[in-house]
Structure 1
Amino acid sequence: MSQYIPPTMASAADQKVALLDHIIVLVPHAELKDPPKALTDNFNITNGGRHADGKTENKLIVFKDGSYIEIISFIDDLPENRADHWWGSKPYGIIDWAFTNGIDYNSNYEALISRLADVQGDSSGAYSYAPPRTGGRIRPDGVKLEWAVTFPTNKEGNDTETKRPSNLPFYCHDITPRENRVNGETEHPCGAVGIREVLALVDDPQTEFFAGLIRAAVNSVNTEGNGGGIQVGTPHGAPSVISFVAPTSDAEKNEASLHKFVLKELKFDYGSNNVSGGIKFSYPFQD
C-alpha cells in the first residue's frame, strides 16, 4: 500500500515529477454492470462505488505500481446525470487522466498555474487550472472517501466561456488516505503490473505545443529517446511515459483534426514476465 501523506506534511519544496494516478474510461451503464470478456479475461475488477453527486459509479482495475484504470458510467445512462457534469459531453472511451503528488492540493494549484503561465509566456495564457474542488464517493463496504480535484481550463480568443481541455490531465489529491481510494486485487490474468505508456493521438501541428503544456503540467523535463515521450512516475515508483502518435488512417486523421488530442491506448508493464507486446487496451474493448 502507498503511504498516505497528509497535506500539512508536504510543502512546495517536495515538488517532483507528477505520478500517474489513474486513467478514466467511460462506458455504457450496462457494460459497467456486466463487463465484457475482453476485460474479465484479462483483469481482476474491483467494485468502486457511487460518487457523491449520485450521477456516476465506477469499477477499478488496480495495478501493483499504484496506478489504476477507472471504468465509469452515468447511472442508468440518464441524460439528467450527464447534464452539467464535467464529463457529460464525452463519448464512450478513454476520456481523461489524473495525476497526483506529495504536495497539498492548494500548493500544487499555485505551482501548476505558475508553470503553465511560464510555458505560455504570460499569466493570461489560454491554458490554466481552476482552483481545487472537493469530491468523494462511498465504497460498497461503507467507507467514505474524500479528495480534491484540480481541473485544467482553456479560454482562447473571443471565447465567452472557459472550456475543459482534454490535452491536459487533472490532479487528484486525497483528503482521506489514498489506500482507501486505491485498493483492490492487483494480480491480473494478463500479467500486467502497471501502466507503462499512455498513447495520445495528436493533430501533428499541435504536437510540440501540447508536449510543452503537458511537461509543465506534470513537472517533467525528461523525455524518452525515441519519440520524445514525456517521462512521469507512478505511486510506487515504476516509470511511465506519455507518448504522442500521429494519425495514419483516414478515420484517425479526421479524429485528430476534429479533436486535436485524443487519449487512444494504454500499454502495460509486465514486470519480469516475458510478455511480447502484451494486450491492447483501447475502446471499444477488444478480445
Structure 2
Amino acid sequence: MTGETISSYSFDHVILLLDTTDFESLPSWLSDNFTVIEGGTHAGGSSRNKLIIFPDGTYIELINWITEPKEFFDWAPKSPGLIDFALTTPSSAQDTFDEVMRRLESKTQPASQAQTSSTEGISESDTGAGDGGLGVRYRPPLFGGRKRKDGQDVQWHVTKPLLDDSAENVPKPLDKYFPTGRLDTPFFCHDVTDRNLRVPYSEKEISETHPCGARGILSVEVLVPEEKIDSYIRLYTAVLGMKPKVQGGYRYRPTTSVSFLLSTPNPDEKAMGRLKGRVGVVIRAPRDQEDEAWLKERGVGIREVRLFAEAKGEDEVDEIPLDSEGIGASLVLVKEPVGFWEGG
C-alpha cells in the first residue's frame, strides 16, 4: 500500500486481565496457542504478570491481582478480559509527551479534514485535531518497573491519559458507556533498561514457538458509539499524529470504521514487515448485536485484538477466534499465506 502515511509509533503491548484461577492455570485457548513466560511482580507488589512475546517486538501482558490494587488504579474496577493497550515511539517518553500534548491542546479541525484518507505526508499542523471534545490530556511520564523471575530489574516510563469526564463530547451517561471506568485512550510505554529485558523478542525459543504461529499484533479495534465516532477520530488523530485511512462503512456513513497505520517495534521481523500498511488501530462503531452487548457490558474501549500468523497452504486464508465465546473470542488469529500479502 504505497503512498500511505504510516506512523513511526507502534504497538507496545495489550493488557489482558485474568482472574486468579485462569492466571495460575491458563485456559486452553491460551496454553494451546502460545508460549507463555513468567513476568514477575510489579513494583507496587499488588499485581503480577505473564507475557506472550511476539517476534515483531510486541506482546500480550496477562495480569492478575495478588492483593487489593495499590497500583494501576484505572484497571482495578475492570472485569477479566481485554482492558487496555499501550503504544511506544522511537522518541523519548518526555519528547513523546510534549508532542502529543501539543496536538491535543491545538485548535480542533473541522470533521471533514479529520476524516480524509491518509495518502500524503502530513505535518504537525495538519494533525492538530485537538481532543475531539473528549477531555483527554496526558500525565507526565512516570517511572515504573518490576523484578523478573531471574532477579533482573526491568525499568520503564509510563505515560497515562488524564481524562476529564465533564468534557462536552464524552459519551453520556457515564454509567452506560463506561460501566467499569473510562479507558478509551491508549497509554505509552518507553523503556529505561534495554527493551529486550522487558520484551525478549530476540529470544526465538520464546517469541517464535507459539503453536498457533502468531508473529505479532495486526490490529487493535476500539469500539465507540456511532454518534461519537467523529470525536474519536479527532482524538486518535492527535494522539497518533496522523490522519486515518477510511475503511468504508456498513450503514450510511463512510467513517464508521477507520484505521491509523502504525509501524512495528522490530522492523526486522519479515512477516510483519510485509504487512506494511495494514498494521494499526481501528476505530469503529458497533456492527451487530454482539458489539452492542459488548458496549453495554464493558463500555467504550478495546474490543478485539487481531494477531497475524503465516498460513502454510497457498490458498489458505482464515480468521479464527481463539475461543468460541468469552474472553478468548475477542482475540482473533488472522492466517494468510505468503503469496496473499505479497501483492498477489
TM-score, with length taken from structure 1: 0.82
**C-alpha distance after superposition, 1:179-219 (max 9, x if no partner):** 10001611211111011111222211112211221122122
Q: How does 1:15-30 map to 2 (within 5 A)?
A: 17-30=8-21
| 1:127–1:155 contact (8 Å) kept in structure 2 | yes
Whole-Å separation in 2 of the counterparts to 1:250 and 1:125? 26
Cα pair distance change 1:191/1:208, threshold 3 Å: same
Cα pair distance change 1:228/1:279, threshold 3 Å: same
Is 1:203 the counterpart of 2:246? The answer is no
> 260, 263, 267: which one pairs with 1:230?
260
SS at match of 1:22: strand
SS at match of 1:146: strand
Q: How does 1:136-285 map to 2 (within 5 A)?
A: 136-157=145-166, 165-183=182-200, 185-187=206-208, 188-223=210-245, 225-226=247-248, 227-237=257-267, 238=273, 239=276, 240-250=279-289, 252-256=291-295, 261-271=300-310, 273-274=312-313, 275-281=316-322, 283-285=326-328
Whole-Å separation in 1 of the counterparts to 2:245 and 2:85? 19
| 1:231–1:242 contact (8 Å) kept in structure 2 | yes
Whole-Å separation in 2 of the counterparts to 1:229 and 1:122? 18
Residue 222 (structure 1) shift: 4.5
Q: Which residue of 2 aligns with 1:13?
A: none
| 1:47–1:140 contact (8 Å) kept in structure 2 | yes
Whole-Å separation in 1 of the counterparts to 2:75 and 2:307? 25
Larger radius of gyration: 2
- Aligned residue pair count: 267
Whole-Å separation in 2 of the counterparts to 1:28 and 1:257? 21
**C-alpha distance after superposition, 1:257-276 (max 9, x if no partner):** 57652312111222464552
SS at match of 1:136: strand
Whole-Å separation in 2 of the counterparts to 1:119 and 1:19? 25
- Give the letter aligned to residue 189 of structure 1: P
Is 168-177 or 271-280 further displaced after alignment? Answer: 271-280
Residue 250 (structure 1) shift: 4.1
| 1:267–1:281 contact (8 Å) kept in structure 2 | no
SS at match of 2:211: coil
Identity %: 29
Is 1:114 the counterpart of 2:102? The answer is yes
SS at match of 2:214: coil
- Give the letter aligned to residue 241 of structure 1: G
Q: Which residue of 1 aligns with 2:126?
A: none
| 1:224–1:231 contact (8 Å) kept in structure 2 | no
Q: Which residue of 2 aligns with 1:129?
A: 138
| 1:266–1:280 contact (8 Å) kept in structure 2 | no
| 1:26–1:94 contact (8 Å) kept in structure 2 | yes
Whole-Å separation in 2 of the counterparts to 1:277 and 1:62? 22
| 2:44–2:71 contact (8 Å) kept in structure 1 | no
SS at match of 1:50: strand
Cα pair distance change 1:231/1:131, threshold 3 Å: same
- Give the letter aligned to residue 34 of structure 1: S
Residue 235 (structure 1) shift: 0.2
- Give the letter aligned to residue 269 of structure 1: F
Segments of structure 2 that go 5 or more residues without pairing to the other structure are 1-6, 109-128, 169-177, 249-256, 268-272, 332-344
**C-alpha distance after superposition, 1:1-39 (max 9, x if no partner):** xxxxxxxxxxxxxxx531100000001022111111111
| 1:167–1:210 contact (8 Å) kept in structure 2 | no
**C-alpha distance after superposition, 1:33-80 (max 9, x if no partner):** 1111111111111111110100111111111111110010001xx4x2
**C-alpha distance after superposition, 1:73-104 (max 9, x if no partner):** 001xx4x2368723111111111100111111
Q: How does 1:88-99 map to 2 (within 5 A)?
A: 88-99=76-87
Indicate the RMSD between aligned Cα atoms, in angstroms. Answer: 2.9
